[in-house]
Structure 1
């Protein structure tokens, strides 16, 4: 059997902000509904119901001195170090984000130069052949970057690609919208590298979809829920119920399609690494996925979750989750060489994607 080129992850890193924000920190917020009217329920009831539905007990915010590009660079440094490579050998740096650099207490989104250029500069990489660019694709951006990097590697255009997901959602969420409790900050990164192998390894299959129809604006920027609050600013807004209903249909379907594209079955999946959006929603996605295979029961242990203590950090959730498991920082979770894991994410646009990945053996990692 002749060897083929595959893409494997040879290093990972993450930046988890130091500022811990528990749910009780929202006890004195004034929450309004989309109709502009103040919610009549007490904040304690709102917080308790929020935790029951989302599973979020706390989240992380960056300190005022840090920007999205800063934490992206910190995660990238860890990934480069763990991969034991010289950053000058990178062919591409892809930075997935959606809001650019937003300073503390500001409404201004700074995206010029590209965050990827700022990260390259912070890393001290001077090689002009290290091509860098940003990727806005909603919360599915980091996984889409992984898919694009795989394309570069399989075509022979690249040998090593750094893919980063970073976001500071704390700076664009509305303090008068209860959905603001969902959002968090963070960054994660991986190094994807080429390997020649007779057996399929690393990225085996991938699938992406975009639903720019009636779902286009279920996530968008809009005025605060409180009339008159910071009229010059726009905040992230979500039609949660509508998004939830469609996620339960679309995400299980694309995962099944991706698994089939890999020539595999649900029985081959050792872990599902899914975008940490909402605990109740992700558990429902898993249940729906198994029902597509006419299987009625499954264990949630196959789907490790960080949302309870990290919240939803958009493009950073998946690479952070991978890094925590890979570096033995997630109790009770580990990757088994030769086993299949499935990545899946969904976000604004509405964009969604999935990747089937076979964990390489140690001897393959050293090749």
Structure 2
């Protein structure tokens, strides 16, 4: 028995922030020195990441609101009674951060907040939060798989939502990467061979745990007690290129699937050049070049919304909103992600 996605939904905020909107920003490096020529910084940023614009949540919305919007759409798409959901797995990293505030709010849990917003009365619908860095939604799918295969659940709602715009240091050029959004899926048992076939998860936390971290602003005049999302970009790039292809290969081997059978690779939308390099390195393990259109991308318009990128991408393809990409019955998909922890995971999925 496998688990399969029976409904999906996503929420992409309406507020568009273009690269040009950062032209008046003053950026500092990690030593506090001003970066000159912001136009050149922004141009280089686009060349590396592929990001042209990103979406920010409206001031009145928090991460749990975005999660609720995406969940409603997934439940409608699945055509189910919301009271029949056994688990709500809410994947995020920073909780609800109100617009203009710096404190994260996680009490009650975001899972409970989404259940409340959905109006689910069934007390046996268990809602909880999962923190696993950017691979959180993938890990939520893996946990839902365990729940359903063990027989303790029949139906799960797996959500990825984040408002990274609320935890960025505006004086750090890396702030241009991050975005807000949410994606959700309903998963149930599959008896026809479709669905999640195999999975792989690993955590590297000896030398790698601080590659993504919370740190003070690069502006020395800012409040030293306020922390923002920070990353060691070069370290993450080198780590991802070395470790992620190996996890993808291991996952594919567990599924007993030939690489030639892969139809699409849905990878966390972190950085276009990095994602392209990961997929190229993965195919190098098989002495092959990546097939054309194997890797759909949404980062150009939506930026990096952490745990929301993969479920959002999946839903957009399902709804015919990603040009040149679609899923057909029998397609073999490989989902993969890397993020804070440092965590990596992947799963093979048959449509």
Query: Does 1:100 find its partner at 2:95?
Result: yes
Among 328, 342, 345, the alignment partner of 1:350 is 342
What's the counterpart of residue 47 of structure 2? 52
Partner of 2:191, secondary structure, is strand
CA distance in 2, matches of 1:299, 1:39: 39
What's the counterpart of residue 235 of structure 2? 242
CA distance in 1, matches of 2:225, 2:64: 24
Partner of 1:110, secondary structure, is coil
Structure 1 spans left out of the alignment, 5+ residues? 360-367
What's the counterpart of residue 282 of structure 2? 289
What's the counterpart of residue 308 of structure 1? 300
What's the counterpart of residue 311 of structure 2? 319
Q: Which structure 2 residues correspond to residues 223-262 of structure 1 after superposition, within 5 A?
A: 223-262=216-255
CA distance in 2, matches of 1:266, 1:171: 40
What's the counterpart of residue 3 of structure 2? 7
Among 21, 24, 30, the alignment partner of 2:17 is 21
Any idea what the Cα deviations from partners look like across 1:76-108, whole Å, max 9, x if unmatched?
Answer: 000000000011000000000000000011110
- The total of aligned residue pairs comes to 351
Normalised by the length of structure 1, the TM-score is: 0.95
1:269 and 1:340 in contact (8 A); partners too: yes
CA distance in 2, matches of 1:261, 1:298: 21
Any idea what the Cα deviations from partners look like across 1:84-141, whole Å, max 9, x if unmatched?
Answer: 0011000000000000000011110000100000000000001001001000000000
Consecutive aligned runs of 4 or more in structure 1 exceeding 4 Å deviation: none
CA distance in 2, matches of 1:280, 1:330: 19
Deviation at 1:228, TM superposition (A): 2.0
Among 204, 212, 227, the alignment partner of 1:219 is 212
Query: Does 1:119 find its partner at 2:114?
Result: yes
Task: Specify whether residues 289 and 52 from structure 1 end up closer, same or farther in structure 2 by C-alpha distance, changes over 3 A only.
Answer: same
Query: Does 1:263 find its partner at 2:256?
Result: yes
CA distance in 2, matches of 1:150, 1:293: 29
Q: Which structure 2 residues correspond to residues 77-156 of structure 1 after superposition, within 5 A?
A: 77-156=72-151
* RMSD between superposed Cα atoms in Å: 0.8
CA distance in 2, matches of 1:180, 1:163: 27
CA distance in 1, matches of 2:142, 2:261: 21
Normalised by the length of structure 2, the TM-score is: 0.99
CA distance in 2, matches of 1:258, 1:189: 23
CA distance in 1, matches of 2:58, 2:291: 37
1:283 and 1:300 in contact (8 A); partners too: no
What's the counterpart of residue 298 of structure 1? 290
CA distance in 2, matches of 1:48, 1:126: 50
Partner of 2:253, secondary structure, is helix
CA distance in 2, matches of 1:141, 1:211: 15
Partner of 1:233, secondary structure, is coil
Partner of 1:117, secondary structure, is helix
Partner of 1:109, secondary structure, is coil
Deviation at 1:230, TM superposition (A): 3.0
Query: Does 1:165 find its partner at 2:160?
Result: yes
Partner of 2:347, secondary structure, is strand
What's the counterpart of residue 268 of structure 2? 275
Among 163, 177, 196, the alignment partner of 2:172 is 177
